[in-house]
Amino acid sequence: MTDATLSFEEAMEKYDPVLGFEVHVELNTKTKMFSSAPNVFGDEPNTNVNEVDLGLPGVLPVVNKTAIESSIKIGLALNCKIAETCRFARKNYFYPDTPKNFQTSQYDEPIAYDGYLDIELSDGTVFRVEIERAHMEEDAGKLTHMGGAAGRIQGADYSLVDYNRSGVPLVEIVTKPIEGAGSRAPELAKAYVAAVREIVKNLGVSDARMERGNVRCDANVSLRPHGRERFGIRSETKNVNSLRAVEHAVRYEIQRHAAVLDSGQPVIQETRHWHEDTRSTTSGRPKSDADDYRYFPEPDLVPVVASREWVEELRATLPEPPAARRKRLQADWGYSDLEFRDVVNAGVLDEIEETIAAGASATVARKWWMGEIVGRAKNADVDPGQLGVNPATIVELNRMVEAGKINNKMASEVLDGVLAGEGTPAEIVEARGLAVVSDDGPLLEAIDAALAAQPDVADKIRGGKVQAIGAIVGGVMKATRGQADAGRVRELILERLGVEG
Amino acid sequence: MTETNSELVRLSAAALAAKLAAREVTAVEVVQAHLDRIAAVDGKVNAFLHVNAEQALAVAAEVDAIRAAGGAEAEALHELAGVPVAVKDLIVTIGQPTTAGSKILEGWHSPYDATVVERLRAAKMPILGKTNLDEFAMGSSTEHSAYGPTRNPWDLDRIPGGSGGGSAAAVAAFEAPLALGTDTGGSIRQPGAVTGTVGVKPTYGGVSRYGAIAMASSLDQIGPVTRTVLDSALLHQVIGGHDPRDSTSLPDPLEDLVAAARTGNVEGMRIGIIKELHGEGYQAGVENRFNEALELLKGAGAEIVEVSCPNFKYALGAYYLIMPSEASSNLAKFDGVRFGLRVLPEEGPMTIERVMGATRAAGFGDEVKRRIILGTYALSAGYYDAYYGSAQKVRTLIQRDFDAAFEQADVLISPTAPTTAFKLGEKLDDPLAMYLNDVATIPANMAGVPGLSLPGGLADEDGLPVGVQLLAPARQDARLYRVGAVLESLLEEQWGGPLLAKAPSLTDASSAAGAALSHGGSH
């Protein structure tokens, strides 16, 4: 069943959106939040667990000090205050992905609070998002529902649980209500999550890979008629796991809420599930502010004490903030303001940096990412970084072009081959027989034919109008089905006509 | 049982250790003597849920081999190597079942050892088996065990106290010289009092809780159960000290508790009687023995002072909010998903909630359910401040009472329990009456201070053991041993030997111990 929606424009005419985000960041500590089991993604189910992660009788938690450090760093990068002492609490609820049937989480005493993040939108506008808190908690295990439709619990025959993720350290970053974004709300949503992702990646405290769930966003959306102070009823769209999806989910929820409100119905306070395929949400479970988790201070842990000295030591280790980094990178790379903003908006800043680090020039890296990859990502409807392009691939392709082995057109074809999993660039060049014709014999034949076909052009060149050479080069390229090295063709034409280039 | 065996089992751990070191007896003989005693009497007492004969004998044989070989390894043997010990079945052990006295864990084997068990193994102390308890340590009589009650060796018709009735009875019945208990509101000390044994609840954080199945995390503490004060110090020294796996474990190095027990002295010490913990509500025989103990201490040079702890009257009420609150959360993990009992609903849809519900309905006993319901209610939104929040404030007030009292006294003293052992079944239908039995022991748990119970003699009216409780400031456990050792030796001088020498033999066919004692016979 699909919900009714208004057009985004109509929704914006009638209503003012208020947003709120809960972003969960998985920390990349060696071990888990409260146990010595490894914190590793992608291993065989239930191998990275010990008695603590399984919640066996008698076990006790011990706080991971590195996780505390990472949390403080995140708090500092979000301009938060750091609590001198704070406690963990137990959030009690029965669910089989939570082995103890309670989650150990900070509740009323977060480690970091009262911060902000300045978000730059695509046109350079800066929007300040207030951070309410960043608190520590443990991740739950992963349930896989078997036998039903599309992995849903409804109608499933049974469920499998993998506790590898159980106890992985999380920092949950909660914003204050974000007002005043207006029609830029979807864009702000994407930019905010991108900024948080950038910060945690930059800090080195998380692998920050959204496709692996290292950064997960719950997006709260409510609408109110223009001019009204009081917030509307919100929905919470859970686990929106790509930047594009964040933007789309917020846009969709605005349109859906608007339609509900227009019909005179109240919005239901509930969680929503995001579906990438239909770009829409469906109803989850009702969520009321009165959900009773019977929180109480975790008696098995002593308070976390963050001495001012320690906090200052950590502050001194913080890497340069992303805004300063962007300024530096633009200067280093020599991009114009427009070029640089396009790069940032396309979300390929890190990718370009990695490509340059792998050996490409700034110009080449931008040419490939902006010219080739961003478009493909758009067609595939994924973030460019998720397309699967390895910086080394770009460097190799560029090296082949510069060596004259293939031309740009072929390189683009080879990239398609790489993305289709056909092998390395070299293998694809070989397999597809893509090589610039470098034997001058066949080229000269083609050149002679082209010159003969366009004698007037040949005369112009002979007369010193070298810029007219394009028509002859074009003829040769056509005749060789693009396999010739255009540079070499040009040299040979000039040689043939006895003209100095 | 041979003559030698019956003599061996009556020896203290310290005496056994001396005989083993002198190679007058082998560890295998010592363990076998205790296994024989268990075989002879445990059918009546029901102190053990599991007997670990094979493993205990193997450890004993290893100790004997090391001693026989001599050299550095023999030199390095722990003083208690080869001295057997029993472990309360709330503490997890590899190679033996751990049930917590509950059907919900029937047949479960832990894949890991509790820290205290690791330390017993490191000292090469043979583990005789796992002792009975009230289900999840919830009770004061061991009648709430899912595996039948343990009986008091002094009178088999009476309760051995609880929750650690199994450990206390095993030690009192000479089935083990040493045992481990856990004490959340008195579960080591109250059984000690009613069975004529010694029990110590260390300072909170003094002994690692890792591997003790939690009832109330902020109150639970593992401690020794023995027949002498020195034996408690010896066992405490083995299990105590910092453990990085327990965040609430104290970082301090352990004091020399054994030296404190060996050099007991009360001269010039101020011993405070807690006004609120004797008198009204305390059985006359308990009160009499308590007063005699005070006279003995005074005679040995102690100064007896009276202190007042006005907030102790709220301790029981606050305890019955904090303990069930924590227990309701700690026991949530017993749901049939990962370990232990799984019960499927008999009809209706097979959802995870219904499987969890059916498992918990079938696996938990009434007292456990009572406390889970109480705790769930106390933590509920809208009630939290009034119940859990207020109880935490009371806890602070109790701590302040202790702080003030310890300004006037070096140690505090009270009867351990208001009465001697009551009859099996007597209070089973009256939870409040049962809870009142812990009125004198609970304040120590609420404040985290250490407490020791030692035998104070037999009550005139029923001839049953009475316990005297000593309390010290946090991290001053050594004071308990210093004072306890003095009082123990003065009392034994008075009785002409250990109190337990007066207990019925349990093996004498004509003894009918229970009947004789329940008629108030004087021993």
Q: What is the pTM of this model?
A: 0.85
Note whether B333 contacts A290, CB cutoff 8 Å. no
- Whether residue B187 lies in the annotated active site: yes
A313 shares contact with chain B (CB less than 8 Å): no
Answer yes or no: are the C-beta atoms of A35 and A50 closer than 8 Å: yes
DSSP B106-166: TT-B-SS--HHHHHHHHTT--EEEEE--SGGG--SSSTT-TT----BTTBTTB---SSSHH
Question: Which tokens is A477 given?
Answer: 């390229």
What's the pLDDT at A103?
Answer: 97
A157 shares contact with chain B (CB less than 8 Å): no
Long-range residue pairs from A225-233, CB within 8 A, at least 24 positions apart, any chain: A225/A14, A225/A15, A225/A16, A226/A14, A226/A15, A226/A16, A227/A16, A228/A16, A231/A18, A231/A177, A232/A15, A232/A18, A232/A257, A232/A261, A232/A267, A233/A266, A233/A267, A233/A268, A233/A269
For residue B87, the SS3 value is strand
Contacts of B211 in chain A (CB under 8 A): 58-59
State the smallest CA–CA distance between residue A296 and chain B in angstroms: 7
A428 pLDDT exceeds 80?
yes
DSSP single-letter state for residue B188 = T
**Alpha-carbon span B209 to B390, nearest angstrom:** 26
Question: Which tokens is B435 given?
Answer: 């809870």
A209 pLDDT exceeds 80?
yes
Average pLDDT, chain A: 91
A92 pLDDT exceeds 70?
yes
Q: How confident is the model at residue A288 (pLDDT cuts 50, 70, 90)?
A: low
B141 upstream amide cis, omega within 30 of 0:
no
- B388 → chain A, closest CA residue: A296
Interface of B with A in 196-255 (CB under 8 A): 209-214, 216-218, 244-248
Contacts of B337 in chain A (CB under 8 A): 96, 99, 161
Q: Is A397 left (phi over 0), alpha (psi -120 to 50) or beta?
A: alpha
Q: Provide the β-strand partners of residue A128.
A: A118
Residue A150: partners with Cβ closer than 8 Å, 6 or more residues away: none
A146 shares contact with chain B (CB less than 8 Å): no
**Alpha-carbon span B517 to A107, nearest angstrom:** 56
Predicted complex ipTM: 0.94
A233 shares contact with chain B (CB less than 8 Å): no
A156 shares contact with chain B (CB less than 8 Å): no
**Alpha-carbon span B227 to B178, nearest angstrom:** 8
DSSP A279-336: TEEEEEEE--TT-----EE-TTSPPEE--HHHHHHHHHHPPPPHHHHHHHHHHHHT--
Q: Which of A56, A94, A294 sits opposite B380 (nearest CB)?
A: A294
DSSP single-letter state for residue A501 = -
Which amino acid is present at A198?
A: E
Note whether A100 contacts B335, CB cutoff 8 Å. no
Answer yes or no: are the C-beta atoms of B517 and B327 closer than 8 Å: no
Answer yes or no: are the C-beta atoms of B77 and B63 closer than 8 Å: yes
Q: How confident is the model at residue A354 (pLDDT cuts 50, 70, 90)?
A: very high
- The two most distant CA atoms of chain A are separated, in Å, by 94
- Whether residue B163 lies in the annotated active site: yes
**Alpha-carbon span B479 to B269, nearest angstrom:** 10
Which is more confident, B70 or A239? B70
Compute the Cα dihedral for A441, A442, A443, A444 and give only its sign. positive
Note whether A57 contacts B108, CB cutoff 8 Å. yes
Q: What tens digit of pLDDT does each residue of A374-388 get?
A: 999 988 888 888 888
State the smallest CA–CA distance between residue B383 and chain A in angstroms: 10
Options B163, B208, B249, B414, the catalytic residue: B163
For residue B368, the SS3 value is helix
DSSP B246-285: -TTS--SPPP-HHHHHHT---TT-EEEEEGGGSSTTS-HH
Find which of A32, A36, A50, A56 to mutate to test the B interface (most B CBs within 10 Å of its CB). Answer: A56
Residue A309: partners with Cβ closer than 8 Å, 6 or more residues away: none
b/e code A9-22 from CB counts within 10 Å (16+ = b): eebbeebbbbbbbb
Answer yes or no: are the C-beta atoms of A131 and A199 closer than 8 Å: no
Q: Which of A57, A60, A295 sits opposite B105 (nearest CB)?
A: A57
Q: What tens digit of pLDDT does each residue of A458-482 get?
A: 888 888 888 888 888 888 888 888 7
| Angle value at C-alpha A91, between A87 and A92, nearest 5 degrees | 140
What's the pLDDT at A402?
Answer: 85
Residue B345: partners with Cβ closer than 8 Å, 6 or more residues away: B354, B355, B357, B358
B114 shares contact with chain A (CB less than 8 Å): yes
Note whether A60 contacts B247, CB cutoff 8 Å. yes
**Alpha-carbon span A152 to A144, nearest angstrom:** 8
Q: How do the pLDDT tens digits run along chain B, 523 residues long?
A: 444 778 999 999 999 999 999 999 999 999 999 999 999 999 999 999 999 999 999 999 999 999 999 999 999 999 999 999 999 999 999 999 999 999 999 999 999 999 999 999 999 999 999 999 999 999 999 999 999 999 999 999 999 999 999 999 999 999 999 999 999 999 999 999 999 999 999 999 999 999 999 999 999 999 999 999 999 999 999 999 999 999 999 998 999 999 999 998 999 999 999 999 988 889 999 999 999 999 999 999 999 999 999 999 999 999 999 999 999 999 999 999 999 999 999 998 888 999 999 999 999 999 999 999 999 999 998 899 999 999 999 999 999 999 999 999 999 999 999 999 999 999 888 888 888 889 999 999 999 999 999 999 999 999 999 999 999 999 999 999 999 999 999 999 999 999 999 999 998 754 444 443 433 334 3
Nearest to A291 by CA among B219, B380, B316, B511: B380
Note whether A296 contacts B384, CB cutoff 8 Å. yes
| Angle value at C-alpha B459, between B457 and B463, nearest 5 degrees | 95
Q: Is A294 exposed, middle or buried (0-12, 13-18, 19+ CB in 10 A)?
A: buried
Q: Is B280 exposed, middle or buried (0-12, 13-18, 19+ CB in 10 A)?
A: exposed
A419 pLDDT exceeds 80?
yes
Q: What tens digit of pLDDT does each residue of A143-193 get?
A: 998 887 666 677 788 889 999 999 999 999 999 999 999 999 999 999 999
